[in-house]
Amino acid sequence: MLKLPLVASVLGYAATQVRAFGFPDCVNGPLSNTTVCDTSASPVDRAKALIAMFTTDELVSNSNTGAPGVPRLGVPAYQSAEEALHGLANSPGIMFADSGDFSFATSFPSPLHMSATFDDPAILAVGDVISTEARAFSNAERASLDYFTPNINPVRDPRWGRAQETPGEDPFRSAQYAYHYVQGLQGGIDPKQVKIAADCKHLVGYDLENPPGTNRFIFDAKISPQDLAEYFIVPFTSCVRDAKAFSVMCAFNALNGLPSCADPFLLQTVLRDHLGFDEERWVVADCDAIEFLFDQRHFVTDFVHAAAVGMNAGTDIDCGTTFGDNLGQALTMGLVNTTRLSTALSRQYASLMRLGFFDPPDNQPYRKLSWTDVSTPSAQALARRIAADGMVLLKNSGNTLPLSSSIKKLAIIGPWASATTQMQSNYAGPAPFLVSPAAAAKSAGYTVTVASGTGINSGDTSGFAEAVAASQGADAVIYAGGLDNSVEAEGMDRTTLTWPGNQLDLIAQLAAVGKPVVVLQFGGGQVDDATLKANPNVSSILWTGYPGQDGGSAVFDILAGKVPPAGRLPMTQYPGAYVDQVDMRDMTLRPSSSNPGRTYKWYTGTPTYEFGFGLSYTSFDLSFAGSTKSSYDIQALVSAGGSAPFIDRALLDTFEISVHNTGSVASDFVVLLFANTTAGPTPLPIKQLVSYVRAKSVAAGSTQSVELPVTLGSIARADENGDSWVYPGEYTLLVDVPTKVTHGFQLTGTKAQVGSWPRSG
């Protein structure tokens, strides 16, 4: 999205902005007696009727995200470049007031942080709050109605600077996150009255920024059909086919030689024909991706051909100015025709019909939302709770946490000690308030001494002495450090997985003081905690991510025991040596002589902390409840799944797990269900996530039963052509990380296809 390192690109992005607020008048305006304003007509027919009234020049001028509209028809300007990955964000389509009403919106934790909750209802609730606030801004003529969110590219490589924007490394988790988040944003699954339109990005294989010698704007991702079907496309299938998102963003990168925004196989064959992306939905190019077809990639000879190639391939709207500036000449030269251009615009306007943009406000419940619906007490409580629920306890020697009531004086040390805007991650907007760890500690009644000690990526040790002195006078030391957007960001990958700067040296000195030391590991991407894990004087490690507006309060909800930790790592924490074992540009997932394997599914080394790892303040026993089958007939499963909308969503079975809290603290508990098998193509994945659920508030000494549905698609494997099959053979279900209980079963019969990958011409 916003490409800050490129000044010209930022200027180009800004040039697409228009004063794009307000609604057409379908009661008294020029369109009032036309099909456009006839609510009994279909959205597509209404949109086509509107586009048929546009002149060729008007078609061209409205092909960018910053569209001037058609004043003679009463069609206002429209800006479709808003951001809402975890709250309304500074972006061309949103206008925050300088103060007072509409000067802020709820700022939730980063998507990666929220994903660590493994709590799908909470993700849906966050999407619902954000869409409510978006509608309130829109009604005040301060925002439009479609948003470039969610970012669902799975994190193939831990160095990626934008991992914080995503649900993490697992495609199944990312798919579920997308399904529930889009549902919250849009007001349901393909509802008649859409709340706001979600945009799933970035199609496809976009998961690096700037490894040495690489430019993300022209990178060619070499990905096999097998990896595309089994990993990269999985979240998009959920977002597009299942959740019915109204927009998809094509990526900067090329896929197997063709730029994504100029690839008819990807945009037509895969997206529209295979995934069912219909004529009410539209493709937008990532910002300036069409421009880059010429001036960076040199895929074509000039901007006119860039516009024509992008449009003809299936890109409908340009986030940039290349379409608007050049499609007129492309039409004159016969490189593109008005039919294709009309289709492109009718798709976006069809989605606006679904959004009620052309309908009288009295018929639309969302038009009644106002400033009183922004940053409500319930929204603030949700932001704080999901921040705490997403924190992951990695180490807790001697049960140092929760902090004893005898601890009164805290030394809060580190570059995150007084963090405010740092906590918001990227793509954020003004928050109603920002509570730092130090401020939260004081509010919780602790006597607090604060010392930064060092910076995020600094070699300066001049602050060490002050930090050590503060620790000597405290009952316990809280070190707040890790990563932030100065070392991981859009346009900025990491080259190392170790703690940056001299933070480890400072922590070692603090640990030598002899007081309990709790390390708060902020940031998105994981850093190798091996040194801290092995240091007996480091009592606890808590991954605190990017916790949002009330992040400091959430931290102390965990530290003080108000909210017991139950989050799970959404990414593998690799040892630092991983960066020397595989080139970031190597897109393959499976292990080979030059690749130790990627993600928990394939990594053959020993992680510092596994995907899905997370400790608790209590203890749990797990067991399979009820009857469990030892054998299933594949053909019977496929036959029984005939009523499912897609065969890959048909059930294998629903497994019941008993969660028994054997400790003394009531707590949530995330049940993770993995599967592995000896069946299917080799090499075999070590295991793969097939279901999960977050059991809520399991009382001490009590048992709570949870159900985990497992679909045929989740246990299927893709062959070399990308076709997915359920294979006969031996399977094992594995519960929790590390595994606490298993169940084996056999699939009998012959293999059955439950998914296909389109063939490229």
Helices (H) and strands (E) in the chain, counts: 22, 27
Helix axes 338-354, 303-313, angle to 10 degrees: 60
3-state helix, strand, coil in the chain (%, to 5): 30, 20, 50
Q: Are 651 and 712 in contact (CB under 8 A)?
A: yes
Of the CA atoms within 13 Å of residue 666, those in its CB half-sphere come to 5
Q: Quick check: 419 and 437 in contact, CB under 8 A?
A: yes
Query: Left, alpha or beta for 276 (phi > 0: left; psi -120 to 50: alpha)?
Result: left
Say how far apart CA 369 and CA 611 lie, in whole Å: 40
Provide the token pair at 390. Answer: 């997403």
Q: How far is CA 94 from the centre of its chain?
A: 20
**Whole-angstrom Cα distance, residue 209 to residue 635?**
45
The residue annotated as part of the active site, out of 286, 316, 719, 736, is: 286
**Catalytic annotation on 170?**
no
Q: Which residue has the tokens 């586009």?
A: 51
Provide the residue type at 510 as one letter: L
The secondary structure element, H or E, covering residue 467 is helix 464-472
> Taking the CB of residue 230, how many other CB atoms lie within 10 A of it?
25
Whether the CB-CB separation of 196 and 149 falls below 8 Å is answered with no
d(CA 88, CA 96): 9
Q: For residue 151, with 0-12 CB atoms within 10 Å meaning exposed, 13-18 middle and 19 or more buried, which class applies?
A: buried
The rounded distance, in Å, linking the Cα atoms of 465 and 459 is 14
d(Cα 651, Cα 628) in Å, to the nearest integer? 14
For the chain, how long is the longest CA-to-CA vector?
Answer: 80
Give the list of residues 6+ apart from residue 596 with CB closer than 8 angstroms, or none.
Answer: 578, 581, 582, 603, 604, 605
Residue with tokens 């704007």: 217
Q: Are 529 and 521 in contact (CB under 8 A)?
A: yes
Q: State how far Cα 10 lies from the chain centre.
A: 23
| Residues whose CB is less than 8 angstroms from the CB of residue 381 and which lie 6 or more positions away in sequence, other chains included | none
Pairing relation of β-strands 476-482 and 409-413?
parallel
d(C-alpha 500, C-alpha 482), whole Å: 7
DSSP 258: E
What residues contact residue 282 under an 8 Å CB cut-off, 6+ apart?
246, 247, 248, 316, 317, 344, 347, 348, 351
* Contact present, 124 and 466 (Cβ < 8 Å): no
Would you call 223 helix, strand, or coil by DSSP?
Answer: coil
CA distance 758 to 616: 45
Is 718 in contact with 226 (CB distance < 8 Å)?
yes
Q: Do strands 651-661 and 620-625 pair parallel, antiparallel, or not at all (unpaired)?
A: antiparallel
Question: What is the full DSSP assignment across 610-633?
Answer: -TT--B-SS-EEEEEES---SEEE
Distance from CA of residue 692 to its chain's centroid? 18
Residues linked to residue 654 through DSSP beta bridges, in sequence order: 709
Active site residues: 286
